[in-house]
Amino acid sequence: MLGLLTPHRDVIAVDLPGHGESPPLQADGKEAVEVMADRLADLLSSLDLEQPHLGGNSLGGALALILAARGRGASATTLSPAGFFNNRAQYYYARGFFEFALISGRALAPVLPRLAQGKTGRALLMGGVVTRPTRLSPAQVQGDVTGIVRAADAVHAVLRTFQPFTMSIPDDVLVTICWGSKDRVLSSKNALVARERVPSARFRILPHCGHVPMSDDPELVARVLLEGSAGRH
């Protein structure tokens, strides 16, 4: 999807602390998401970026909103951001989903390459987060499953300490909150809570998209990100 954005924006794709090629997350007993936000703020400062346009999905969406609330973003465009659970049951469901993903990812590691080659295997591995898993390439499926397993320590730290989003975002920051209509991880009903807590935000439902809409409809998501970062209310 980056190819849809880079002709129009300078894009910085970040590996969150404890994810990808970033160093391990060192939370030291603090709330993991706040520590991640601190590290991202440090990164922005090191790049001389005071108020860039922010975007993120799920945990990344929560971090974009936190940074925007801290005054570190000109805009924040988020896709199914975490932190807007209707009730505790939804929180425990989402937590259980990711814990199961970690357990099953480890268990299936020996047969992951073979599973990813077939449509049934891709549906088994990715059907919980996207609505069109068979459209994903085997390499993308392997990368996604391997990536979350490698990030297990950071994911567990986030799940243990995660708190609802209740911060106030400055009125001059353009916020767009999007939700996949078929999100099976964070129900679109969470958007109702988000609307109450971030009343200044623009809201948009992404048709036929799951929890990771970038995979289901990259053109739509690119359009939403470009519109959200255009700097106009």
pLDDT tens profile 175-214: 999 999 999 999 888 889 999 999 999 999 999 999 999 9
The CA distance from 159 to 19, in Å, is: 15
| 8 Å CB contact between 173 and 202 | no
Domain ranges of the chain: 2-86+165-228, 90-156
The stretches of the chain forming alpha helices (DSSP H) are 2-5, 32-46, 59-69, 88-107, 112-117, 119-126, 138-150, 152-161, 190-197, 213-216, 218-228
**DSSP state at residue 134:** G
Q: Give the per-residue pLDDT at 233.
A: 43
Closest C-alpha among 160, 202, 209, 204 to residue 185: 209
The CA distance from 153 to 212, in Å, is: 21
Between CA 130 and CA 13, with CA 83 as vertex, the angle to 5 degrees is 60
* pLDDT over 70, % of the chain: 99
Which helix (H) or strand (E) segment is 30 a member of? Answer: none
The model scores a pTM over 0.85:
yes
Taking only the tens place, the pLDDT of each residue in 55-82 is 999 999 999 999 999 999 999 999 999 9
The one-letter code for the residue type at 174 is L
Q: Does domain 2-86+165-228 have CATH number 3.40.50.1820?
A: yes
Instruction: Report the C-alpha dihedral over residues 210, 206, 94, 201, rounded to 10 degrees.
Output: 160
